Chain A
Amino acid sequence: MAPILVARHVTKRFGGLVAVNDLDFEIEEHAIASVIGPNGAGKTTFFNCITGFYVPEEGTITFEGKEIQGLRPDKITSMGIARTYQNIRLFAKMSAIENVMVGMHPRLSLHWWDAVVHTPAFVRQERRVLRRAWELLDYIGLADWANHQANSLPYGAQRRLEIARALASEPKLLLLDEPTAGMNPQETAEMIEFIRKLRDDWDLTILLIEHDMKVVMTISEKITVLDFGTKIAEGKPEDIQRNPRVIEAYLGRGAASGLPTAQAADSAA
């Protein structure tokens, strides 16, 4: 299958710091792939380059054959890329369902005068928005929280709501920044199942950043490892596991807890 997203020689610097260094990356349509790496490796920065938060100094990013680097974030989202955030960034004072409704924004077309006059098209569209928002909340299991303020939801629910909000924009590529951060093993297992289901139900391509090695190994079809902004390895989970450079990158920082172990690989296989 053709890659849906291709990055070539992407470099992003902050002053003297090279956060992403000459990165080549691609992801196949309908795949689930992961980007891993120690803290500060440049994973989130790479996401930010894809979604238009940052403009890379060098390189190109191509989505469905069109170059997107340097486009405005809202433009990129309309093209079909949606994301969630490492530290949850919901619209805190809006209700859960309103968050989802905002997510639909790029798929709606009517203007303010339609809203003032309540043209038939507007009424139809708003009805559709409402129905769809409820559907999404049902799908994600948050219908009971629909009319609650987003920041009053339990932590796990907030993470799922972020996903629902991203889905509302009808993306083709979904970027998840550490979707299981702060979850217990039970919730983590559920989230893994959920991510798979997401891909199948919505015909999505999913790229995630993950710290939990077990999650990464279980779910990913391809793993890209970053260290100091540079890609040091790429491949199938079992290859990454045995890659000495990866082990060193993790062990060298003393991040033993993050070390991919043989057991994890076994249980994953």
Chain B
Amino acid sequence: MQATTWRSTIKAGLLTGVIALYVALTGMVLSLSKRPVVDKLSLGHVVYMLVFVVMGYLTARRSSWRTTRPALVPVQGLVVGGIGAALLALLPVFGQQVDLSWIFVTTKPNLYKFLLFNQESMAVGVAYLVLTGAALGGIAALLPILPEVLHQGLLYGAGFTLLLGVLSDLAQRTVLKVVLKPLFAYKGLKPSGALILFVVLSVLFGLRHWWLQRQRERSTMEVILGERPAWARGVQQGLLLGFLLILPVWLLNKDAYLNSVVNLVNLYIIMGLGLNIVVGFAGLLDLGYVAFFAIGAYTVALMTSTGDLGHGYTFWQALPLAVILALVAGVVLGIPVLRMRGDYLAIVTLGFGEIIRILANSDWLKPFMGGALGVLDIPKPALGNLVLKEEYQLYYLILAGIFITWFIATRLYHSRVGRAWQALREDEDVAEAMGIHLVTTKLLAFGFGAAFSGLSGAIFAAKVGSVYPHTFNLIISINVLSLIIVGGIGSLPGVVVGALALVGLPELLREFSEYRMLFYGIALITMMLVKPEGFWPKKLNVYSRPQDDTGPATP
């Protein structure tokens, strides 16, 4: 028992080293080193140090000593981080003797210097690195043996402090700069600022965890006592609505860049809500989802463009048609795949997605759709005399889209159709044997998913002003699918969290764009390990007994 645990700890340490080496060799570390997070600590440091932290943390969480011998758990973390850092240290030690750059183009002397904390003496540098790794691993391993409130509070507190540090210039662009200014240096956080933020955020997140815990106990009580008072929900939703309405003008100061990022995230949320019906509710794996986004976008582009290809309709005339065309396409493309399941379904839908893009790109349709040159001069939507040309104005249009799709998705979910979708996801054969008509149920899911995507595409076309076939490639489908999974499959708030994490963050961290796919991979793997059910998982619905007695009990 003991021996195996130590052996697995050492294995985890070696794995940590390999991952850290990999991260260092991708070139990420150096290219991110120009963005300070806290004082001299740069994003480059954070990226490889996170490897030690995450691995130490995971080792601790999975340790069989967590309950039996908690004192040994941080030691495990120490070992994991230490071994990992020692392996990483081999890179500069070895690399300074032998030139590795003909294999790994990123192995330059300044990478070594960076990894060794710019120390003159190699021995001192290596010692620093190993000690840092061990310390980080050990500290991270402390978390899982602490009480849950502390564990969650510190975890999120540290995470969000780093995040704010990374996004320092953005944080200072918003209204919050009044409060945040003293905490930040010109770039990145001041050490004192980081400490204050960390403490405050940890307390807040700890409280949040405690509150959620209490809620959970209460919701079981609710089943017994009846429903939660409606006014509490009303107040909550009112506050949220208020916040969303003032977000772009107040918090984001009408800042064009920040609002455009928010708008992009929100367009992805609409798509996510649609794909969530297909994949999350009904369990139909659709990889060609971008096709409907493209159909929506091209419909608006061709109908409204003031260029040669356009037909001069207004955005509001084009919008319903865009949604309807996407819906029809969803249903029509759904018919051939009715009998397919799982992997087959995924592959065939993937093909559909590509077909639409290739059609838009083809010479054959060029006279109508512009081929690779795309459709230009798409006018902005107008409300009477008010042209929604600024990002913060478009925000409200997109927000309305989210409200509508969210509303429809929720209503459908809590209905006969929604239950049929879930049954379909759980067991298609049994669902059919329970009297569910598979064809209509599946086509409804495909249709709604496609319509939402079409809506998103329609607004997208008006927002960017021009559409090109290459915009609509497979990556968009993958992005939407990933954000659903990361958020928690089947969960509507999960879509929001997923979109913020997978669309918003990479957009804000421009240095990351080169590593975007890597970032997705890391996010997905981390999630599978830490929170396999997603960051905001779908909760089981709670049904209380009907209190009223207004109708006959039997049909």
**Which residue of the partner chain B has the closest CB to A132?**
B553
**Which residue of the partner chain B has the closest CB to A122?**
B415
Q: Are B551 and A124 in contact (CB under 8 A)?
A: yes
Interface string of A93-131 (1 = CB under 8 A from B): 111011001110111101110111010001010111011
Residues in A whose Cβ lies below 8 Å from that of B408 = 116
Residues in A whose Cβ lies below 8 Å from that of B407 = 116
B470 within 8 A of A: no
* Distance A127 CA – B552 CA, assembled complex (angstroms): 10
A25 within 8 A of B: no
* Distance A98 CA – B433 CA, assembled complex (angstroms): 16
Q: Are A72 and B432 in contact (CB under 8 A)?
A: yes
* Distance A118 CA – B550 CA, assembled complex (angstroms): 17
- A127-B550, A128-B551, A131-B553 known; A83+B426 contact, CB < 8 A: no
Interface centre among A112, A131, A135, A149, by most B CB within 10 Å? A112
Residues in A whose Cβ lies below 8 Å from that of B553 = 128, 131-132, 135
Residues in B whose Cβ lies below 8 Å from that of A114 = 415
Which of B434, B444, B546 sits near A169, CB closer than 8 Å?
Answer: B434
Q: Are A147 and B543 in contact (CB under 8 A)?
A: yes
- A112-B415, A115-B416, A134-B545 known; A91+B423 contact, CB < 8 A: yes
**Total chain B interface residues with beta-carbon distance under 8 A:** 39
Q: Are B435 and A74 in contact (CB under 8 A)?
A: yes
Q: Are A53 and B429 in contact (CB under 8 A)?
A: yes
Q: Are A105 and B434 in contact (CB under 8 A)?
A: yes
Which of A52, A102, A149, A169 sits near B419, CB closer than 8 Å?
Answer: A102
Q: Are B412 and A102 in contact (CB under 8 A)?
A: no
* Distance A73 CA – B434 CA, assembled complex (angstroms): 8
Q: Are A102 and B411 in contact (CB under 8 A)?
A: no
- A15-53: which residues lie under 8 A (CB-CB) from chain B? 51-53
Q: Are A127 and B426 in contact (CB under 8 A)?
A: no
What's the nearest-Cβ distance from chain A to residue B419, in Å? 5
Residues in B whose Cβ lies below 8 Å from that of A174 = none
Residues in B whose Cβ lies below 8 Å from that of A53 = 429, 433
- A130-B546, A135-B553 known; A105+B436 contact, CB < 8 A: yes
Residues in B whose Cβ lies below 8 Å from that of A112 = 412, 415, 417, 444
Range class of the A interface residue count:
35 or more
- A112-B417, A116-B408 known; A94+B423 contact, CB < 8 A: yes
- A72-B432, A77-B434 known; A147+B546 contact, CB < 8 A: no
What's the nearest-Cβ distance from chain B to residue A2, in Å? 25
Interface string of B433-450 (1 = CB under 8 A from A): 111111000001000000
Q: Are B431 and A126 in contact (CB under 8 A)?
A: no
- A91-B426, A91-B427, A94-B422 known; A131+B433 contact, CB < 8 A: no
Interface string of B338-378 (1 = CB under 8 A from A): 00000000000000000000000000000000000000000
Which of A115, A135, A169, A170 sits near B417, CB closer than 8 Å?
Answer: A115
**Which residue of the partner chain A has the closest CB to B418?**
A115
- A98-B422, A115-B415, A147-B223 known; A89+B430 contact, CB < 8 A: yes
Which of B416, B541, B550 sits near A95, CB closer than 8 Å?
Answer: B541
Q: Are A126 and B435 in contact (CB under 8 A)?
A: no
A165 within 8 A of B: yes
- A105-B420, A149-B540 known; A116+B438 contact, CB < 8 A: no
A256 within 8 A of B: no
* Distance A134 CA – B419 CA, assembled complex (angstroms): 16
Residues in B whose Cβ lies below 8 Å from that of A103 = 434
What's the nearest-Cβ distance from chain B to residue A127, in Å? 6
- A89-B427, A115-B417, A118-B411 known; A74+B437 contact, CB < 8 A: yes
Residues in B whose Cβ lies below 8 Å from that of A149 = 540
B555 within 8 A of A: yes
Which of A52, A77, A93, A131 sits near B426, CB closer than 8 Å?
Answer: A93
Q: Are B435 and A77 in contact (CB under 8 A)?
A: yes
Residues in B whose Cβ lies below 8 Å from that of A128 = 551, 553, 555
Residues in B whose Cβ lies below 8 Å from that of A127 = 546, 548, 550-551
Q: Are B423 and A74 in contact (CB under 8 A)?
A: no
Q: Are B543 and A133 in contact (CB under 8 A)?
A: yes
Q: Are A146 and B543 in contact (CB under 8 A)?
A: yes
Which of B423, B435, B540, B546 sits near A131, CB closer than 8 Å?
Answer: B546
Residues in B whose Cβ lies below 8 Å from that of A116 = 407-408, 411-412
- B112-158: which residues lie under 8 A (CB-CB) from chain A? none
* Distance A115 CA – B432 CA, assembled complex (angstroms): 21
- B381-417: which residues lie under 8 A (CB-CB) from chain A? 407-408, 411-412, 414-417
* Distance A130 CA – B420 CA, assembled complex (angstroms): 16
* Distance A122 CA – B412 CA, assembled complex (angstroms): 12
What's the nearest-Cβ distance from chain B to residue A236, in Å? 31
**Which residue of the partner chain B has the closest CB to A124?**
B551
Residues in A whose Cβ lies below 8 Å from that of B412 = 112, 115-116
A92 within 8 A of B: yes
Q: Are B546 and A74 in contact (CB under 8 A)?
A: no
Residues in A whose Cβ lies below 8 Å from that of B430 = 85, 89, 91
What's the nearest-Cβ distance from chain A to residue B309, in Å? 35
A188 within 8 A of B: no
Residues in B whose Cβ lies below 8 Å from that of A105 = 416, 419-420, 423, 434-436
- A112-B444, A147-B540 known; A77+B420 contact, CB < 8 A: no
A78 within 8 A of B: yes
- B431-479: which residues lie under 8 A (CB-CB) from chain A? 431-438, 444
**Which residue of the partner chain A has the closest CB to B538?**
A93
Residues in A whose Cβ lies below 8 Å from that of B529 = none
- A124-B551, A169-B434 known; A101+B546 contact, CB < 8 A: no
Q: Are B223 and A73 in contact (CB under 8 A)?
A: no
What's the nearest-Cβ distance from chain A to residue B341, in Å? 16
B542 within 8 A of A: yes
Q: Are B546 and A134 in contact (CB under 8 A)?
A: yes
Residues in B whose Cβ lies below 8 Å from that of A106 = 434-435
**Which residue of the partner chain B has the closest CB to A133?**
B543
Residues in A whose Cβ lies below 8 Å from that of B550 = 127
Residues in A whose Cβ lies below 8 Å from that of B541 = 95, 98, 147
Residues in A whose Cβ lies below 8 Å from that of B415 = 112, 114-115, 122, 126
Residues in A whose Cβ lies below 8 Å from that of B423 = 91, 94, 102, 105
Residues in B whose Cβ lies below 8 Å from that of A89 = 427, 429-430
Q: Are A147 and B434 in contact (CB under 8 A)?
A: no
- Which 10 pairs from chain A and chain B are nearest by CB? A106-B435, A115-B415, A91-B426, A77-B435, A73-B432, A102-B423, A73-B433, A74-B435, A116-B411, A112-B417
- B-contacting residues of A (Cβ < 8 Å)? 51-53, 72-74, 77-78, 83, 85, 89, 91-95, 97-98, 101-103, 105-108, 110-112, 114-116, 118, 122, 124, 126-128, 130-135, 146-149, 165, 169-170
What are 24 A-B pairs with beta-carbon distances under 8 A? A72-B437, A73-B429, A77-B435, A85-B430, A91-B426, A91-B430, A91-B431, A95-B540, A95-B543, A98-B419, A98-B541, A102-B419, A102-B420, A102-B422, A102-B434, A105-B420, A127-B548, A127-B551, A130-B545, A132-B555, A134-B545, A135-B553, A149-B540, A170-B555
Starting from the known contacts A52-B433, A111-B417, 7 additional A-B residue pairs (CB-CB under 8 Å) come to A73-B433, A77-B433, A89-B430, A98-B422, A102-B423, A115-B411, A147-B540
- A-contacting residues of B (Cβ < 8 Å)? 223, 407-408, 411-412, 414-420, 422-423, 426-427, 429-438, 444, 540-543, 545-546, 548, 550-551, 553-555
